[in-house]
Amino acid sequence: MIGTAQFGMPYGIKEHPDIPDDNQLNDLLNYLWDTGVRWLDTAEGYGKAEQRIGTWHQYHSNKRFNICTKVTGLDHSSRKDLLQSAKRHVIACCNRLNVTMIDILLWHSADEYLSDPLTCQVIMKELQKEGLIKLWGVSAYPFHNLMPMLSSEMDMIQLPFNILDSRLIDNGVLKAFHSSGIKIYARSVLLQGLLTRSTISPDNKLSFCIEALRKYQNVCHNYKRCQGQMAIDYVLSIPQISGIVLGCRSLDQFQTLKKWINSTEVLTSDCIEEINKTFRQIDPRVITPTMW
Ligand SMILES: NC(=O)c1ccc[n+]([C@@H]2O[C@H](COP(=O)([O-])OP(=O)(O)OC[C@H]3O[C@@H](n4cnc5c(N)ncnc54)[C@H](OP(=O)(O)O)[C@@H]3O)[C@@H](O)[C@H]2O)c1
Question: Could you give the domains of the chain?
Answer: 2-198+240-264 (3.20.20.100)
**287 Cα: distance to centroid of ligand 1 (angstroms):** 14
The residue-averaged pLDDT of 98-124 equals 97
Q: Whose CA is nearest to atom 42 of ligand 1?
A: 248
Q: Whose CA is nearest to atom 12 of ligand 1?
A: 247
Q: Is the CB of 139 under 6 A from ligand 1?
A: yes
Tens of pLDDT along 153-182?
A: 999 999 999 999 999 999 999 999 999 999
Contact 13, 206 (CB under 8 A): yes
Contact 78, 53 (CB under 8 A): no
Residues 237-257: b if buried by 16+ CB within 10 A, e if exposed = bbebbebbbbbbbebebbebb
CA atoms within 13 A on the CB side of 50: 23
Q: Is the CB of 71 under 6 A from ligand 1?
A: no
Q: Is the CB of 256 under 6 A from ligand 1?
A: yes
Tens of pLDDT along 228-243?
A: 999 999 999 999 999 9
Contact 194, 160 (CB under 8 A): no
- Residue 86, classed as helix, strand or coil, is helix
Q: Which of 81, 185, 67, 72 is nearest to 132 (CA)?
A: 67
Q: Is the CB of 188 under 6 A from ligand 1?
A: yes
Cross-strand partners of 279: none
Output the pLDDT for position 16: 52
**260 Cα: distance to centroid of ligand 1 (angstroms):** 15
Q: Whose CA is nearest to atom 39 of ligand 1?
A: 12
Sequence-separated (6 or more) residues with CB below 8 Å from residue 82: 74, 75, 76, 119, 120, 123
Tens of pLDDT along 143-152?
A: 999 999 999 9
